[in-house]
Amino acid sequence: MGIFGKKKPPAAAPPPPAATRANPKSPRVDDAHPSPRATPKGERDASDGSRSDSSSASSSSDSEAEETDAPASLPTYEGTPCTMRLAIGVDGGGTGTTCVVIGDDDDEHLGRCELRDRSANANSVGFESALRAVLDAIDGALDDALSGTRWKKEDVTLGVDDATAGRRALAVVCAGIDGDGDATRLRNALVARVPGLARRLVVDNDAAGALASGTEGAMRGIALVAGTGTVAFGVGFSGGTDDDGDQSTERRKRRGVRARAGGWGPAFEDRGSGHHLGTRALNAAARVEDGRGPPTRLHGDVLRKLKLAPGAPNVADALRRWAYSSGPAPEWSKVADLAPLVTAAAAEGDAVAVGIVNDAAEGLWEQIFAVYMAIKRGGGFGSAADAGDSSKASRQYSDADIVPIVLCGGLLKRDGVLTKKLGESLMARESGRTGMFSGLLVHPEVGPEWGAAWMARKLMDPFGR
């Protein structure tokens, strides 16, 4: 019998994520923990904001009522008995919102909901829309957990009173959470709707979820995200004291020493991002078109990508029209779509593309090092024990001299040319004049929503596992 009352097949476990020591001469740390891959039982359509408060035995009239075009209200959870400890993680990205529900005693995937095209970035869609996306994703994942089981709906409710608060925990990581004020506003809105989560709720930036996805929730190390944009985020635990007073000391013990670098956006170049690589590809094509730059396959690749014929008349005019068709500043994603042309050309040995990738790797390295130095000045990374964590996964990163560097985003694929160059940069500097730390590159096998779920689980078990 499964935990739901009847057997439920667990999600397939993927191979352990690759963990590469930056210094091949030093003892290799074990590969990162095997992370379960979430296997969705179904995806919610982006427009599906409705939910059902009835059990599977709902009448057809109730179902018909739910299918009306009336706007769905924000879900409100009734106070009902909770009989199982659930950890709920939400990743609110710029293009979609995903929630996963896991049990407290293992990594079995119990429920999942993916809302495509439902952003939870309040900076782009507004606070109320972002909040609704988070609530709808939670609601959908809890409904998914009921699918095909004999459990009653109240068995997987969030719970709203103190008696059940310890049986549920929620972590929400969202793009656009750039400070304590942003996090507090979203946290207060969630607590207002689900009061029982007040003591088991954390709201953080999406980079925190990226870090946790590679360390099974151990908030120690550096996450480097490189997609359309790029950002580096790190957390360390010095285990020491703070001269600012007891309140500040306790806060730092809970949250650790944090630092961030990059993520300024295209106007600030954002070296190493997809937008940066795409801009450099356009520049290389324009220089060839003018006869002022070295030959490169990027010229032909860019023109073909934009459905322009090399050698055709007025190619330069067509390039300019494409670049400025959306206004004085091209859309970020449109330019970033050209980044794969650069990495593909670099993999084939194109000299111009190789130079662009090398420059991008330097930009990413700068972010990593800036975060490392900021945390070092704040007391250092410490160890998993300093962070109050004793899980098996955390013990793999317990050496204070070894810092896990979790690589996320479309540009940092496991065998990608940019990833390889970044690894070379780390190895070259690790024992050099900079006194660089010993880094362990980690490629998570799961998304940030799993990182958030692991963060939530630790709220129910603060002394580790």
Q: Which CATH class is domain 32-55+74-217+446-465?
A: alpha beta
User: How much is the pLDDT for 95?
Assistant: 78
Higher pLDDT, 34 or 299: 299
pLDDT of 48? 42
pLDDT at 176: 83
What is the Cα–Cα distance from 309 to 289, expressed in whole angstroms? 12
C-alpha angle 457-208-455 in degrees, rounded to nearest 5: 5
Least confident segment among 91-100, 140-149, 384-393: 384-393
pLDDT of 12: 43
pLDDT band (50, 70, 90) for residue 157: low
Expressed in percent and rounded to 5, the helix, strand and coil fractions of the chain are 40, 15, 45
Q: Is the pLDDT of residue 39 over 50?
A: no
3-state secondary structure of 81: coil
DSSP E strand stretches across 93-241: 96-103, 109-116, 168-174, 201-205, 221-226, 230-236
Span 162-218, pLDDT tens digits = 555 567 899 999 988 888 899 999 999 999 988 778 788 999 988 999 999 998 888
Query: Taking each helix axis from N to C terminus, what angle separates 417-430 and 339-347, rounded to the nearest 10 degrees?
Result: 70
pLDDT at 330: 65
pLDDT tens-digit readout, 360-398:
999 999 999 999 999 988 888 875 555 545 445 445 555
What is the share, in percent, of the chain residues with pLDDT greater than 70? 66
Query: pLDDT band at 353, cuts 50/70/90?
Result: very high
Over residues 249-260, mean pLDDT? 66
**Local confidence band at 442 (pLDDT 50, 70, 90 cut-offs):** very high
Q: What percent of the chain has pLDDT over 90?
A: 38
pLDDT in tens, 281-323: 999 999 999 999 999 999 999 999 999 988 788 899 999 999 8
The chain-wide mean pLDDT, for the chain, equals: 75
Q: Determine the Cα–Cα distance for residues 417 and 151; give it in Å rounded to an integer.
A: 48
Average pLDDT over residues 88-106: 87
How much is the pLDDT for 302? 96
> Is the pTM for the entire model greater than 0.75?
no
Residue 53 has pLDDT above 70, yes or no: no
The Cα–Cα gap between 39 and 446 comes to 10
pLDDT of residue 341: 98
Across residues 226-243, what is the average pLDDT? 74
Structural element, H or E, at residue 284: helix 274-290
Does residue 154 carry a pLDDT above 80? no
Q: Which three-class secondary structure state does DSSP give residue 168? A: strand
Instruction: Tell me how far apart the alpha carbons of residues 420 and 429 are, in angstroms, rounded to a whole number.
Output: 14
Radius of gyration of the chain measured on its C-alpha atoms = 24
